[in-house]
């Protein structure tokens, strides 16, 4: 992934959740990360969609290893990579002979990611996103994804982390972002690679033209050639269009409506439950037998209306 090719021969630390040698670790990496991503889909992490939130997402997905497979240096999940002279990734589109390199940020990558997230919040963040149309929301999420992808905060696992993170942003705004629509077929996966890589290279070399490329015989010229090639493959299927196609608006959860009985209001029924006197039981006499008369009460002066005790008129909980 970088200008320096290193193979990690680290030993597995004791008490590591999965104690495997490097080859086996790589084979299990995809399986374990998919399990963790599914868990995040069911119960997203809480956070403010800042750099710390992004780091926690990466740490959660790759928590099953002492450090994630494929990393050039031994770094822990959630750890931001350091500065480098060059950081690029070779890409080969599936089922084709198209090959190219993608160039990412090399300096202060954590700061670049923080600035990208701050820009998203300055544009209204989740609240503003919720009021946009599907296409507008897709474009806004595509900008956020591309900015973070260019920063490439972690040594490995950036794509999986960003898909989970951006999906949680969309869900918070009332959308469901289904990434499986972009990975069902070889063609759809290649479309996502191309659109994503075009957005990243444009951020690495903003405003790159043929004239500027001819003046720069190094990375700039290579970037211009790559962009020219990828834009022809991309057509109108940019990253915003791809994300928009995977967006649906979530239906609000219906709330149960309390049943109103006999036309009485809820307040009226509560009052009745506290102050209504219990009904007097009437003894049923056998048929043909006259009920006994109650003895006449002795006459005495009425002491006046009775005053209920405080416990008798306590409103109880809920008032």
What digits encode the pLDDT tens for the residues 52-61?
999 999 999 9
What band does 17 get if pLDDT is binned at 50, 70 and 90?
very low
Select from 148, 176, 143 the least CA-distant residue to 161. 148
Q: SS3 string of 46-87?
A: CCCCCHHHHHHHHHHHCCCCCCCCCCCCCCCCCCCCCCCCCE
In total, the chain counts a number of residues equal to 319
Select from 151, 160, 181, 173 the least CA-distant residue to 243. 181
**Could you report the per-residue pLDDT of 182-228, keeping only the tens digit for each?**
778 999 999 999 999 999 999 999 999 999 998 887 789 999 999 99
> Span 79-102, mean pLDDT?
96
**Could you report the per-residue pLDDT of 124-142, keeping only the tens digit for each?**
999 999 999 999 999 999 9
What band does 306 get if pLDDT is binned at 50, 70 and 90?
very low
Range in 88-102, 157-171, 265-279, 304-318 with the lowest mean pLDDT = 304-318
Residue 7 scores a pLDDT above 60: no
H helix runs in the chain, sequence order: 22-42, 51-61, 109-122, 125-130, 134-151, 158-172, 186-204, 210-215, 219-234, 239-245, 266-275
| Terminal-residue alpha carbon distance, the chain | 64
């Amino acid at each position: 992934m970088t200008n320096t090719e290193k193979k990690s021969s680290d030993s597995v630390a004791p008490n590591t959740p999965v104690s495997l040698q490097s080859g086996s670790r790589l084979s299990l990496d995809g399986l374990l990360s998919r399990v963790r991503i599914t868990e995040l889909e069911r119960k997203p992490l809480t956070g403010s969609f800042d750099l710390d939130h992004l780091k926690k997402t990466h740490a959660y997905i790759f928590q099953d290893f002492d450090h994630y497979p494929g990393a050039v240096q031994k770094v822990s999940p959630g750890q931001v990579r350091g500065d480098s002279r060059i950081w690029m990734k070779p890409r080969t589109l599936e089922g084709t002979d198209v090959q190219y390199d993608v160039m990412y940020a090399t300096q202060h990558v954590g700061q670049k990611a923080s600035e990208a997230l701050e820009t998203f919040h300055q544009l209204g963040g989740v609240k503003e996103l919720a009021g946009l149309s599907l296409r507008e929301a897709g474009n806004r999420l595509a900008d956020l994804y591309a900015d973070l992808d260019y920063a490439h905060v972690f040594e490995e696992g950036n794509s999986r982390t960003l898909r989970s993170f951006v999906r949680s942003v969309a869900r918070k705004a009332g959308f469901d972002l289904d990434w499986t629509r972009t990975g069902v077929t070889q063609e759809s996966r290649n479309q996502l690679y191309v659109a994503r890589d075009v957005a990243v290279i444009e951020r690495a070399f903003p405003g790159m033209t043929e004239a500027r490329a001819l003046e720069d015989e190094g990375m700039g010229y290579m970037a211009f050639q790559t962009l020219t090639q990828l834009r022809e493959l991309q057509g109108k299927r940019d990253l915003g269009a791809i994300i928009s196609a995977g967006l649906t608006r979530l239906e609000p959860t219906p709330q149960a409506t309390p049943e109103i009985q006999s036309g009485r209001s809820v307040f009226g029924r509560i009052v009745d439950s506290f102050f209504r006197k219990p009904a007097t039981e009437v003894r049923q006499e056998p048929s043909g037998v006259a009920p006994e008369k109650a003895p006449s009460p002795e006459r005495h002066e009425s002491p006046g209306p009775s005053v209920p005790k405080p416990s008798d008129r306590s409103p109880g909980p809920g008032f």
